[in-house]
Amino acid sequence: MPPENAHLRNFCIIAHIDHGKSTLADRLLEATGTLSKRESQAQFLDNMELERERGITIKAQSVRMNYTAKDGKTYVLNLIDTPGHVDFAYEVSRSLAACEGALLVVDASQGVEAQTLANVYMALEQGLEVIPVINKIDLPSADAERTRAEIEDVIGIDASGALPASAKEGIGIIDILEAVVKRVPPPKGDPAAPLKALVFDSWYDSYRGVVMLVRVLEGTLRNKQAILLFSNQKTFEVQELGVFSPFSSPVSQLQAGEVGVLIAGVKVIHDAKVGDTVTEAERPCVTPFPGFQEVKPMVFSGIFPIDAGDYEDLRDALEKLRLNDSAFTYEPETSTALGFGFRCGYLGLLHMEIVQERLEREYNLSLITTAPSVVYKVFTHQGEQLLVDNPARLPAVQNIEHLEEPLLTCHIHVPDEYLGGVLKLCQDRRGVQKDIKYLGTSGKRVQVTYAMPLAEVVFDFFDKLKSVSRGYASLDYELAGYQPADLVKLDILINGDPVDALSVIVHRDRAYQRGRDVCARLKQVIPKQMYEVAIQAAIGSRVISRETISAMRKNVLAKCYGGDISRKRKLLEKQKEGKKRMKQVGSVEIPQEAFLAVLRTDE
């Protein structure tokens, strides 16, 4: 191994949401003097407002720390952050590929969760050194020994060297840094070899264009170098190289083993996809780093401005969002009910919620989002095969030979006392059990594996899973192809007119129940109008459910004299503002939330 790399350590942190990853990262930055306590605006690595609020990490980051170990030598430690949600599993795998080691943070009172497990397996597969850290040992409910046993039992790695810690209280931080130095191997790679670097994150910066985070595997990245991106064979010139410590500072080169920032005049994020390999144009490497995937959206929904006049603003906002999010797609969509809008694609439900929140918050737009849909395969009698991500675009029943829907393999971890509820939920969601096994020797934790339609998981499955397990169940899943299914389009009619934006594709066996639920739900969220409103659910021309919102009879202020007038005027102005958040569909005013009502049930 080249001696230049002996002082380098690249590692990441694997943790379940809430198990303290961000807090631990902050403590490491403080302990190495990379960031003062004052600067560490609690949880430095989560640098988006939304991420901080939700306590999750969406975009990976990387920070270089200098650490003088007990052996007297100074080491450069690169902490590579990983996204913490199942929607971003691919990004996680790329971040792991940039590391030689991983800290596995497990909450001393909660134990190992499914998402953690999935990521640990991924890390082990890629040959990372995994160092277990038992966090939150300061909590009264902490049980370090049991957690240690569980890590061995459940994950099957040696946890005798697990480090007890409390990131919140700053306990065990130095031990963790020492373990990184001693146990994580220094990176391999020959600085003289042809360049091979892995893009493990990229984003758009409005001043500098596309910024890539790269791990150099072989060779050396230099300023002014002509580089080639493997997936699209495009060449660019290196304009700037840098590291985060924690704020960006320029360097003249990055060589094998190092992690840093690469800016090369790339204008669009789609030219710098996560997982791609960077090589030298003059002297390219023979094979790219394996495992590159084009990330494709799995879930789609319509986004429409409440005020048609905001359409251009929405388009601009989507364009900007897409600059920074290569997994997000959009294309124009026209709805008879909602007018002009966009059909947007996301990695999963969380991704969808994040996009919507950012649009509303950062771009100050009032939007209507339609219920999410998965991509169905439609086989017609004419022998065509279509991909349909929008119920409104489903061909007429008589033209459909059969339909196929995407399937997931779901791994659910749950304490055995909640197993019954979880099994019933999976059954209700058309799941087919593939495996059930007790983890470890305690006999208390179970992993069940189900094949389940993606559409069922999209449809508030995660909330329900949390509620039947009091929050203890955790979920991980991967795509498992398509399977034929008996699906129908459920239409919703308001005062006799079908509202295309409320249509959903559902399994025939559940259409009746779903129709009833949706009608009942809409009755709750649509306010009384000046006339009666009929809500119907229909399959084709057959109405399967109906609710009626009776007409409002009285809405008038009885007394309106001197002192009442200003107050009344303000109430009216408020009501008018409220109307702006409603969508006029035919003659009925429908509030935003109605369009998501088809998504939720009151089971």
Cα angle, residue 352 at apex, residues 341 and 307 outer, rounded to 5°: 30
Which CB sits closer to other proteins, 42 or 552?
A: 552
Asked if residue 564 binds other proteins (CB under 8 A), the reply is yes
Asked if residue 567 binds other proteins (CB under 8 A), the reply is yes
How far apart are CB 177 and other proteins at their closest, in Å? 57
Which CB sits closer to other proteins, 188 or 570?
A: 570
Residues 250, 201: Cα–Cα separation, whole Å: 18
Residues 410, 351: Cα–Cα separation, whole Å: 18
Q: What is the DSSP secondary-structure string of 396-457?
A: PGGGEEEEEEEEEEEEEEEEGGGHHHHHHHHHHTT-EEEEEEEESSSS-EEEEEEEEEHHHH
Asked if residue 73 binds other proteins (CB under 8 A), the reply is no
How far apart are CB 501 and other proteins at their closest, in Å? 23
Residue type, 591: P
**Stretch binding other proteins (CB under 8 A), from 24-32, 174-182, 305-313, 570-578:** 570-578
Q: Which pair of structure tokens corresponds to residue 415?
A: 């304490």
How far apart are CB 581 and other proteins at their closest, in Å? 13
**Stretch binding other proteins (CB under 8 A), from 17-25, 413-421, 457-465, 553-561:** 553-561
Please name which of 415, 482, 406 lies closest in space to residue 448, comparing C-alpha atoms. 415
Among 125, 319, 557, 603, binds other proteins (CB under 8 A): 557
Q: What is the DSSP secondary-structure string of 467-529?
A: HHTTT--EEEEEEEEEEEE-EEEEEEEETTEE-GGG-EEEEHHHHHHHHHHHHHHHHHHSPP-
To the nearest 10 degrees (0 to 180), the angle between helices 461-468 and 419-428 is: 160
Q: What is the DSSP secondary-structure string of 260-305?
A: EEEE----SGGGS-TT-EEEESSS--SSPPS--------EEEEEEE
Asked if residue 496 binds other proteins (CB under 8 A), the reply is no
How far apart are CB 584 and other proteins at their closest, in Å? 11
Asked if residue 584 binds other proteins (CB under 8 A), the reply is no
Which CB sits closer to other proteins, 71 or 573?
A: 573
Asked if residue 568 binds other proteins (CB under 8 A), the reply is yes
Among 127, 481, 552, 603, binds other proteins (CB under 8 A): 552
Asked if residue 571 binds other proteins (CB under 8 A), the reply is yes
Total residues contacting other proteins by CB under 8 A comes to 27
Residues 372-401 that bind other proteins (CB under 8 A): none
Residue 221: strand, helix, or coil: strand
How far apart are CB 493 and other proteins at their closest, in Å? 20
> Within 13 Å, how many C-alpha atoms sit on residue 77's CB side?
31
**Stretch binding other proteins (CB under 8 A), from 112-120, 136-144, 272-280, 563-571:** 563-571
Which CB sits closer to other proteins, 397 or 560?
A: 560
How far apart are CB 592 and other proteins at their closest, in Å? 18
Which CB sits closer to other proteins, 296 or 569?
A: 569
Pairing, β 385-388 against β 376-380:
antiparallel
Asked if residue 555 binds other proteins (CB under 8 A), the reply is yes
What separation in angstroms does the CA of 574 have from each of 367, 561, 568?
19, 20, 10
Asked if residue 562 binds other proteins (CB under 8 A), the reply is yes
Q: What is the DSSP secondary-structure string of 324-371?
A: T-TT-EEEEEEETTTEEEEEEEESSHHHHHHHHHHHHHHS---EEEPP
Asked if residue 559 binds other proteins (CB under 8 A), the reply is yes
Other CB atoms within 10 Å distance of the CB of residue 85: 20
Residues 585, 575: Cα–Cα separation, whole Å: 18
Which CB sits closer to other proteins, 268 or 552?
A: 552
Asked if residue 479 binds other proteins (CB under 8 A), the reply is no
Asked if residue 309 binds other proteins (CB under 8 A), the reply is no
Residues 218, 195: Cα–Cα separation, whole Å: 5
Q: Which helix (H) or strand (E) holds 220?
A: strand 220-222
Asked if residue 563 binds other proteins (CB under 8 A), the reply is yes
What 3 state SS string does 146-194 have?
HHHHHHHHHHCCCCCCCEECECCCCECHHHHHHHHHHHCCCCCCCCCCC
Among 66, 74, 399, 575, binds other proteins (CB under 8 A): 575
Among 73, 463, 579, 603, binds other proteins (CB under 8 A): 579
Pairing, β 129-135 against β 101-107:
parallel
Q: Which pair of structure tokens corresponds to residue 283?
A: 């002297």
**Stretch binding other proteins (CB under 8 A), from 113-121, 305-313, 409-417, 567-575:** 567-575
DSSP code for 141: T
Asked if residue 550 binds other proteins (CB under 8 A), the reply is yes
Asked if residue 432 binds other proteins (CB under 8 A), the reply is no
Other CB atoms within 10 Å distance of the CB of residue 333: 22
Which CB sits closer to other proteins, 396 or 558?
A: 558
Which CB sits closer to other proteins, 296 or 579?
A: 579
Site string (512-531) toward other proteins, x via CB under 8 A: ------------------xx
Asked if residue 580 binds other proteins (CB under 8 A), the reply is no
Asked if residue 42 binds other proteins (CB under 8 A), the reply is no
Among 316, 332, 565, 603, binds other proteins (CB under 8 A): 565
Contact 98, 10 (CB under 8 A): yes
Residue type, 465: L
Which CB sits closer to other proteins, 436 or 565?
A: 565
How far apart are CB 230 and other proteins at their closest, in Å? 60
Q: Which residues bind other proteins (CB under 8 A)?
A: 530-531, 550, 552-569, 571-573, 575-576, 579
